[in-house]
Every structure is written in structure tokens, then in C-alpha cells.
Structure 1
Amino acid sequence: MSDLDYLSRATPHSQAARSDAPIHVAMVMGRLSRASGGIFEAVAGLAPALRSRPGIEVDVFGLQHPVSAAQDLERGGVPAQAFPTRGFPSFGYSPALDRALRASSADLLHVHGLWMYPSVAAPRWAAARKAPYIVTPHGQLDRWALAHRRWKKRLAGFAYEMRHLRGASCLHALCEAELASIRAIGLTNPVCVVPNGVHPPMPTANVAPLWRSRVPGRASILLFLGRLAPQKGIPNLLQALAIARDAAASKAWHLVIAGWGDPDYRARLEHMAATLGLEGLVHFVGPQFGEEKARSLAAADAFVLPSLSEGLPIAVLEAWAARLPVLMTPQCNLPEGFARAGAIRILPEPDSIATGLRELFAMPMTRRLEVGMLGAALIQERYTWSRAAGDMESVYRWLLGLAARPATVDLA
């Protein structure tokens, strides 16, 4: 299908319009909270970077959460609104969101994430406005992600999600693996492949994170930073550390698990660590945001992400930006990290992770520093928010009929 076939779906702009014409983008997500994990981090990185570009207005619309992060976006100069919901919290039905979108002057919607009420609101807005929308699944169409709670997702798919996805003027994949996942479920929309970015490390003035006093002063720290959820593979990591316990103890390595999530799931992880006899080596320190996250990264000596499923994890990018050596699975969808940043390749199973841990624990400090520099160089080359914003602006302008199709867009 040609570019014009796609663009004729829904664009109010003339093909002859100026390529530098002002545009207004409304980003829409589920819960407007850091509890939304990587989705919020992506919105919080991309929206300000777009807004800093000439001729682009960006707002963020989301659903209310007890711990709102709207103020974090507003501090970055991005107007953000969170709307009340009714009924099942996991869906987030919100007539107030519909009303706000109808009142918005946005030329285009950019929906982040699936399976919640924005997946219903976006097609309605597009039909009424005769305007395009783009959807970023953020890894939620990966095979493992679709299999997790499969019956609920099948019901949602039949009810509204496939209509939402098929109706999008473009889908946004974070990496080539996500593009393959999108095509594997039969979606034939245009797909742009634009990776996440990352902010430069915040200055910490050599201030230690609040949890540092809980870990022996001379210990080397392996950091896990992210949501405490099944797809992150933390049980495998704990079993692997139990296997490699002697190597960890001989080099005084400790594992710090910094994250948020379901309290019951965290309790199960803590019980598992205790059952494995890891109380002295594993430290659950809770969520780390803003300055505390920067201090946690600065205090670490290495980073690990043993995920079973990801889109493109910002946590790994942050670790590279902080010049940390990284252990990660292929499911993190960052193959260049193995080829160019010295990342230690682990599979999402205990024995493989234990082998990777032993490799890290035996690595001289000088080599760890060299590997950290490789990761930082890769970030500067490929994973800045300014680059991501430039690529997304090109996609938006193409969808609005203001520019030619960019090279990032794949047509099925």
C-alpha cells in the first residue's frame, strides 16, 4: 500500500501545507504516575524533548493515580492532566478523558501503552476529528507479554484493542524485535522504529543514596532498578546469586534491588531471598526516583536486568549513561550492547545468569571502567532524547501530510 493510501485515512492537512507548519501533539497514556514504569519514563523523556523543538506543542493526558506524576511533567514545561476513572481500576473508564480530548486542539494523538481506556478513547477521537493517531505498545505485543494473563488480553482484544491497533495511522516500535512482534500478530499498519532515549546522569555531588548505609561500606554493588514484576526475571536472578554465592562473597559483591510494584509480589521475592539464604547479600530498598535514582546509579558498580520480556528498557540506557557495566538478556532488545558496549549476555534462567555473575565478579575494576565507557559512548551516539524527538517529529509531520515518509517507517 502506498503512502497516500495510509495518509488518506485521517489527516485534515493539505499535502501542500508548509513542512515547518506548527503542529500540536496530544500524548495519551494510562495511569499518569511513575507506577506506570517505563511508559511514564518514555513520555517524561520524549514530551519535553519534542516541546523544545520549534513549532511543536505537546500536552499529556492520562488517568488519575493515587501517586500522580503530572507535576514532574509540568516542571519540564509540559502541560499534563490526569482524569478520574470509574469501574475496574485496571481498565480506567474515564468520560472526563473523552471530554478533554474533544476539547483539545491537537492535530494528532500519540497513545502510549495498551489494554486501558485510552485504547477506546483514541479511535473515537480520530473518527470524530478525522485526524490520525499513533500507538506505542511499549513491548506489550511481545510473545511473553501477550501470554501473561492471556484470557484477559483475549477478551480485551476482541472488545477493543485490535480495533485500536488496526485503526492507528502508524504504530511505533522501539526496536526491530518489536517490529517483528507487531507483524507476527498480523498488523499491517505502517510502523516507525524509533528507540527510546535517556537523559544525561544528574549531578549527585557525591551524596550517597539513602539505602547505602544498609550495605557494607566496602561492598561492590550490583544494581537492579525497575518495576518488581514477573517479566523482569527477579526470581531467576535470586536463584543465580545463590548458585554463585561463593564468588560473590569472595569479592564482596552485594545485590541491591531498587524498585516498586505489587507489595505481595515484593513480599514473595523477599521470602524467596530469605529461603535461599541470601539475607546478607540481597537488599530490597524500594523505589528510587529523581535524585535518589541518580544517586543509586552513581553508587553502583554494575547493573543487571534479567528480563523475560521488554520493549526497550530505559533502565539499561540509564545504566550505560552512568558508565556501568551491564548484564542483560537478549530479551532486552539491545543487541548492540553485546557487540559494542561489552554487555555480559545472560539467558533468563538461573544457571546462565550465575555464569554471567561469576564473569562480572572476576572482572578487574579497570575492565569494568572500560566497559562502562563503551556504554556511555553508545548512548551519546544512538540513545538521546533529542534524537528520538527529531525522529518522531518527522513521523508526525508525515502523518499530517506535511513531509515525506521518513526512513524510520516500515510499510508492510
Structure 2
Amino acid sequence: MHILHLTPYYAPAYAFGGVTRAVTGMARALARRGHTVTVLTTDALDRRHRSAGPASMITADGVRVVRVRNLTLWTRRAANLSTPLAIRRAARTLIAEADLVHAHELRTLENLLVTPLLDHGQRPPLILSPHGTLTTATGRGRFKQVWDRFLSGSVARRTNAVIGLTTDEIADAESLWRQLGAQSAMHIVPNGVDLAELTGPDCAARGAAFRQRYDLGADTICLFMGRLHARKGVDVLIRAFRWTNHKADLPGTRLVIAGPDEGMGAQIAPLLDDRIVLTGYLDSDARLGALAAADVFALPAVGEGLSLAALEALGAGLPVILTPGCHLPEVAAVGAGLIVEPETVPLAQALHALLSDAERRRAMGAAAQALIRERYTWDAVAAQLETIYAGLISPDRRSTSAEAP
């Protein structure tokens, strides 16, 4: 199959969070399985910088990446929107080559500009992955409601299938699609991780380098990794960590907060002390180093699609402390971590339980890696996507694509 992914950002634009890593992971896995994979994206590297790479390139993992220049990055900073006004020109040729188009996130200018092109000629099917962004309950609610009222309908009505991360996301999609007068097939496919990247022979060295860089010594580390956004619960985690140390006085424990500031930096600044390390954004190598260095991972989010950071922590063999909003109840079921409410006292109790018990951490870490190996690798995700894709592509289009040069 020739698969065209449409996304506002792609590797190495990891500053935009889990969506970038998710699209990158599935694109690479599909290419490994023999498919022709093209990614149509923008030149945004983060909210202030552009990618320095060429406009079109084939990456080392076999994915062709086509980047369209944003007219400005100001809208990305102000409203988290791209301005790839020339994307239609690139899309016309790429759509003609593709068996299907897989768009990522709903409320994007990329979708508004590109999906109308699917109305002409031999139309390839359109698949949409919202990546946990549909709900209006976890931020930007008014913006999303206005966008949906005036703009989302045209994209939804062109969509053949929606791929949600969880049953909750599919319920959100079904509700919104009813409001928009749209009908699409609904499927659940989770995120995945690259176990080889998380368990490779250089992990120990990366972990040691991370500890040295931040002067962590042999301390027991609880790691938070994610954007410093209100819905991630980092403020509650800091309070819980301080409460745990005040009540139980656990010597040699540190909280490492890793991620770019998206509005919470000033709010948490008064809560920091010498046991809490704030790293800011970590690039790919440093992120892997943080996971290798950590002993426990905590993410008290109030709303996630399916947290890639949590899946990566599990893949790295870390016991995790999550909340119901992370949508990973199986973590508790298989003994890979604890699920608690995003409140100070239950979080503090969970932190104490794991930070004070190395043997329990080891057992949970082994269960964590087994869970990922069984259910959450990118190759497993790609196999599920193949089945969905094949069911949407007409035999005529598949044969035409196969004959194309």
C-alpha cells in the first residue's frame, strides 16, 4: 500500500508532544512492513523555530517526508495552528499517488486545505486519528466548540474511518459526528513504543550520563515527563512529593520534571525545592537518558488520549503511578503500577509505596515490560492499521496503484 500521512508536525518536532512521536512511530513501522509511506507536514520544529532539513527527503527508516513552509510561526505560538498555505499544491500530487490518506488531529488548517482535494477524481479513503484531542473538557474548550460549529463538519463528512486510542475517545467521536451529521467507521488502535530503543545496550550509559548532568547521584528518582500544561497535573504531583517527604522523610529521593513549559512554569516555581529538578524540554537522547535513570514514573493527568510518555516508561521497565485519565487500567490489573485519583493525598501515598520499596519496583518494572511487549509495540499497531486500511481501499484503486510506476 501507498500511505499518505497528513500531520502538522513530524520528527524531529518532538516539542509538540505525543502526536509527533505517535505519527513517527506508526509511519516507521508501516515502512518496515514493506509499505510506501509518505508524510506531508510543515516545517515547524517547535513554536519558534523551523526545521532546517530539505523540503522533501527520504529518511533513514524509509519514510518520505515532504515539508511545507509555514507562512508564519506566530499562529503556532498564539493558537497552536499552522499556516502551510502552499500545502494544497504538494498534496495534489501526493494524493494521486496514494492508496489512502491518514490525517492526524481534527482541528487543523492542514485538514481544511487538503481534504477538499479528495472530492475529485478517484477518491482515496480518508482515515482520521484524533490522538485524544476531541474532548472539550481538557482545555481550549471554547475554541474547539467554535471550530466544530463552523469548520469540523466538512472534514468529518469526508472521513471514512476514525481511529481512536480508547473506548472513551470513540465515544467522543461518535457524539461529535452525530452533531456534525457525519458517519464514519469507528476503530480502536492504541499507541505503541519502540522497545529496542528503550531497552538497548546503551541505556545504562545514557542513564548514568543523565544522572551526572543533573547531579542526581544514586538518589531514587521519580520522573514526570510531559508538557507543563494544566491537564498534566504536574502541580499536584509536586505537592504530593513534598507531602510525602514531609510526612515520611524519605532520604535520597528526587522528583525530576522533564518537559517544555506550556503555561504552568510560573505556577509551579514557588513549589520547587532542592529535591525537585526542572529540566525543561529534553531531546530524544536526553529523554531516553531520563527514562533509563528513573526508578518510578508518575503522570497524574486529568485527560490524555493514551499517554505515549506512560507507555515509554512501561517499556523502559519503570513502575508507573497513573490516574484514570491516562486510560491504562491494565497497568493495575497486571501489577505494573498504581492507578490513583489526581489528588495530593492518594498520589503521596502511591509515591511513598514505591519510592520506599525497591523490590516492589523491580517486580512492577518486569510486569511493565511484559505488558508493552504483549500489546503496545509499533509493529503490533502497524498490523492493526494494515487490516483497517485494507478494508477501506477499493480493489480497483489497489490494482491501479500497484500498476503505477
Partner of residue 144 from structure 2, selected from 138, 153, 175: 153
SS at match of 2:133: coil
Report the CA distance between 1:383 and its aligned residue: 0.5
CA RMSD of aligned residues (A): 2.2
1:298-357 CA distances to partner (integer Å, 9 max, x unpaired)? Answer: 111010111111111111111111111000001111111111133111212222212222
C-alpha distance 372-338 of structure 1, shift in aligned 2 (>3 A): same
- Alignment partners' CA distance in 2, 1:215 and 1:317: 26
Q: Is the 8 A contact 2:238 2:271 kept in 1?
A: yes
Alignment of 1:68 onto 2:62: no
Moved over 6 A (4+): 69-73
Aligned equivalent of 2:388: 395
1:77-106 CA distances to partner (integer Å, 9 max, x unpaired)? Answer: 211122122363333232321111101111
- Alignment partners' CA distance in 2, 1:94 and 1:334: 35
Partner of residue 288 from structure 1, selected from 264, 282, 307: 282
- Alignment partners' CA distance in 2, 1:233 and 1:383: 24
C-alpha distance 330-70 of structure 1, shift in aligned 2 (>3 A): farther
Report the CA distance between 1:128 and its aligned residue: 2.3
Aligned equivalent of 1:326: 320
SS at match of 1:209: helix
Superposition pairs of residues 373-388 of structure 1, within 5 angstroms: 373-388=366-381
Aligned equivalent of 1:260: 260
- Alignment partners' CA distance in 2, 1:238 and 1:399: 47
1:32-83 CA distances to partner (integer Å, 9 max, x unpaired)? Answer: 32122111000111001101113x2111111221253978982322111221
Report the CA distance between 1:400 and its aligned residue: 0.5
Q: Is the 8 A contact 2:136 2:144 kept in 1?
A: no
| TM-score, L = length of structure 1 | 0.84
Q: Is the 8 A contact 2:296 2:355 kept in 1?
A: no
Partner of residue 346 from structure 2, selected from 326, 346, 352: 352
Partner of residue 65 from structure 2, selected from 73, 76, 80: 80
**Aligned residue identity for 1:172:** I
Aligned equivalent of 1:30: 8
Identity of aligned residues (%): 30
| TM-score, L = length of structure 2 | 0.85
SS at match of 1:142: coil
Quick one: higher RCO (CA 8 Å, sep 6+), 1 or 2? 1
- Alignment partners' CA distance in 2, 1:228 and 1:31: 19
- Alignment partners' CA distance in 2, 1:339 and 1:397: 33
Aligned equivalent of 1:177: 168
C-alpha distance 296-216 of structure 1, shift in aligned 2 (>3 A): closer
Report the CA distance between 1:247 and its aligned residue: 5.0
Superposition pairs of residues 78-117 of structure 1, within 5 angstroms: 78-86=63-71, 88-89=75-76, 90-104=80-94, 105-117=97-109
C-alpha distance 318-331 of structure 1, shift in aligned 2 (>3 A): same
Q: Is the 8 A contact 1:111 1:133 kept in 2?
A: yes
**Aligned residue identity for 1:254:** R
Q: Is the 8 A contact 1:247 1:361 kept in 2?
A: no
Q: How many residues align?
A: 371
Give the unaligned 5+ runs of structure 1.
1-22, 404-412
C-alpha distance 338-205 of structure 1, shift in aligned 2 (>3 A): closer
Question: Which deviates more from structure 2 when the two are superposed, residues 351-360 or residues 191-200?
Answer: 351-360
Q: Is the 8 A contact 1:122 1:164 kept in 2?
A: no
Aligned equivalent of 1:47: 27
Give the unaligned 5+ runs of structure 2.
397-405
Partner of residue 203 from structure 1, selected from 201, 208, 219: 201
C-alpha distance 62-335 of structure 1, shift in aligned 2 (>3 A): same
- Alignment partners' CA distance in 1, 2:254 and 2:58: 34
1:136-163 CA distances to partner (integer Å, 9 max, x unpaired)? Answer: 0000113523xx2222212211221232
SS at match of 1:109: strand
Report the CA distance between 1:230 and its aligned residue: 1.7
C-alpha distance 70-136 of structure 1, shift in aligned 2 (>3 A): farther
Superposition pairs of residues 210-359 of structure 1, within 5 angstroms: 210=210, 212-246=212-246, 249-262=249-262, 265-269=264-268, 271-274=269-272, 279-359=273-353
SS at match of 1:351: helix
Q: Is the 8 A contact 2:236 2:343 kept in 1?
A: yes
- Alignment partners' CA distance in 2, 1:41 and 1:59: 16
C-alpha distance 305-212 of structure 1, shift in aligned 2 (>3 A): farther
